[in-house]
Amino acid sequence: MPDQLVYAMEVTLNGLMAGVLYSLVALGFVLIFKASGIFNYAQGVLALFAALTLVGIQNGQVPFAHMINAMTGGHLTNFGWQVPSVIAILLTGVVMVLLAIVIEKLVLKHLVNQAPIILFMATIGMAYFLEGFGDVMWGADIKTLDVGLPQGINETIESLTDRWFGYGFFIDNLDIVATLLAILLVTALTLFSQYSKQGRALRAVADDHQAALSVGISLRFIWVLVWSIAGFVALVAGIIWGTKSGVQFSLSLIALKALPVLMLGGFTSIPGAIVGGLIIGVGEKLFEFSIGPMIGGATENWFAYVLALVFLVFRPQGLFGEKIIERV
């Protein structure tokens, strides 16, 4: 088999894995958009905040240490204990639920019936606030996150592909774990929204707020629920991205990468988020591999957006989105 083709296959596989990670972030967007019609820009910052909190709890950092030190002149840094990963993840989950409750109480409740663009901008404001808040609470330095996920090259795949093609593929164990987690998460969420009582209430709210209210579904509870789930998805995404490239500000920028994924897949479709993520992941890796060297490289920065833009010109509602019907 020609070398180029084998390399392209490896690139495609890695693209698929990267695409899964994009889908994971995009999933959080879709959940909130479906249930409340809010396009939640803060999803990426939620992931960053979750990862920061997880690291902070794990290492027993004192929250707001920097600020307390600045005010009192002390030298607090941490409590001096290490929390096991499982407990730390659970505690972070609790924090994310609390955050969802606070967001509902302080922000969303007051913005009922506003234009979608106002809600969108409110989430941009929240993103800024959370970004600053996370940094003030846990410090802005780059942290390493380790919850015991396997990392490094997967040797089974390398030896297998070496035997088949005479060239060992480099596939990260972490990416495989991420893929499995993503599949698990999507299955769980689909089951939840199809078969549980709350899940059905959630879909009812998504269809029609007023009709849902009239049959006795509490809108506010559903919103807290949805934001908690989004916080949970953010936590998973934060763990994986944080393990991969450290917990730092750039983590919140993956949210921006999730936007073209959403546009491709359609804002309202969970399968769309997955397929969109895979297309973008594979597309940008292959484009960088084949065309990138000719035009200066680093095309990953913009390829996804331009692809989505061109695609939308031909199909404005995305791949799986509901058809946009406009009435005067």
**Residue 306 is a binding residue for another protein (CB under 8 A):** yes
For the chain, strand residue ranges (E) read none
Q: How far is the CB of 124 from another protein (least distance, A)?
A: 7
DSSP string covering 115-173 = -HHHHHHHHHHHHHHHHHHHHHHH-SS-B---SS---SB-HHHHHHHHHHHSS----BH
**Residue 323 is a binding residue for another protein (CB under 8 A):** no
Residue 322 three-state SS: coil
**Residue 192 is a binding residue for another protein (CB under 8 A):** no
Q: Are 77 and 292 in contact (CB under 8 A)?
A: no
Selected range binding another protein among 131-139, 144-152, 208-216, 228-236, rule: CB under 8 A:
131-139
Q: How many residues bind another protein (CB under 8 A)?
A: 53
**Residue 262 is a binding residue for another protein (CB under 8 A):** yes
Cα angle 91, 46, 213; round to 5: 90
Selected range binding another protein among 62-70, 170-178, 189-197, 239-247, rule: CB under 8 A:
62-70
Closest to another protein by CB, 62 vs 178, is 62
Q: Are 281 and 19 in contact (CB under 8 A)?
A: yes
Six-digit token pair at 287?
A: 């484009």
Closest to another protein by CB, 96 vs 258, is 258
Closest to another protein by CB, 79 vs 128, is 128
* Amino acid identity at 206: A
Q: Are 15 and 286 in contact (CB under 8 A)?
A: yes
Indicate the helix (H) or strand (E) that contains 189: helix 173-195
Residue 264's nearest CA partner among 319, 200, 215 is 319
**Residue 279 is a binding residue for another protein (CB under 8 A):** no
**Residue 301 is a binding residue for another protein (CB under 8 A):** yes
Q: Are 283 and 16 in contact (CB under 8 A)?
A: no
Task: Using CB under 8 A, pick the residue from 70, 90, 102, 160 that binds another protein.
Answer: 70
- What is the per-residue binding string for another protein in 16-35, x denoting contact by CB under 8 A? --------------------
**Residue 122 is a binding residue for another protein (CB under 8 A):** yes
Closest to another protein by CB, 64 vs 167, is 64
Q: Catalog residues that contact another protein under the rule CB under 8 A.
A: 39, 66-67, 70-71, 106-107, 110-111, 114, 116-118, 120-122, 124-133, 135-136, 140, 256, 259-260, 262-263, 267, 295-299, 301-302, 305-306, 308-309, 312-313, 316, 324, 326-328
